[in-house]
Amino acid sequence: MRSRMALHHHHHHQQQSIRSTSDDGDSGSEDEEPTPSHRMAMYPVPHSHWFPRSLSFKPWNRVRAVKQQQQPSGGVLPRRLRIQVLRPLPVRVTKDIVETYQLCNPSFQHSENLNPKRYLTNPSIPKFNGGCDNENHDLILYYGCVFVNENATRRYVVKELVGQGTFGQVARCYTIETHTNVAVKIIKNQLAYYTQAKVEIGILHVV
């Protein structure tokens, strides 16, 4: 009888200890915040093996660079790669591509005359008029070509082809002197179309 009561008392004491432990654990989880180590375990952060130096994103200072390269014995360390961030990379390789090439090679020179021509006339294969006209006697237009009037007072830069028909082509041109866009009609290089164009010009002067 005594052993049974002791066993019953021991079992009752174990239940109380388990209940108190669970109560303490619940209260501790509500009051205490997770430690940084526990937080890192719950929310792992991806690690990187490369960390940029802060010097890479600061203005270039020649005096500071020379001091860093000099050794205590008087010698000079090998030159290191200098990274100077001024503009976003897409701007440097598109809009400022010429300046980027000049930084790499100071003797680099750019000429717009060497740019590849983007032809607007179809077909663009030269055949007549010394290679200036195609098989339909249309003047072969390309983006950026310039027309000059008879008095040499206006320059018209071709920007795009608006239309192409029986009598010729119509191009949208930019006037350099007046900073305006105009439509220029280019007649085919044949006598019949040339005569018809003179009649149209006379009618426009009367109107």
Provide the pLDDT for residue 109.
86
Domain containing residue 183: CATH number: 3.30.200.20
User: Quick one: average pLDDT of 94-116?
Assistant: 83
pLDDT reported for residue 25: 45
Say how many domains are in the chain.
1
Whether the predicted pLDDT of 182 surpasses 60: yes
Each residue's pLDDT tens digit, 11-59: 444 444 444 444 444 444 455 666 766 666 665 555 555 555 555 555 6
Q: Considering the entire predicted model, what is its pTM?
A: 0.48
Q: What is the mean pLDDT of the chain?
A: 76
Within a domain: residue 198?
yes
Q: Which domain holds residue 137?
A: 129-206
pLDDT value of position 197: 92
- Dist CA 135 CA 126 (whole Å): 7
Q: Does some domain include residue 195?
A: yes
In this structure, are residues 30 and 23 in contact, taking their beta carbons and an 8 Å threshold? no
On whether residue 176 sits in a domain, the answer given is: yes
Please check whether residue 165 lies inside any domain of the structure. yes
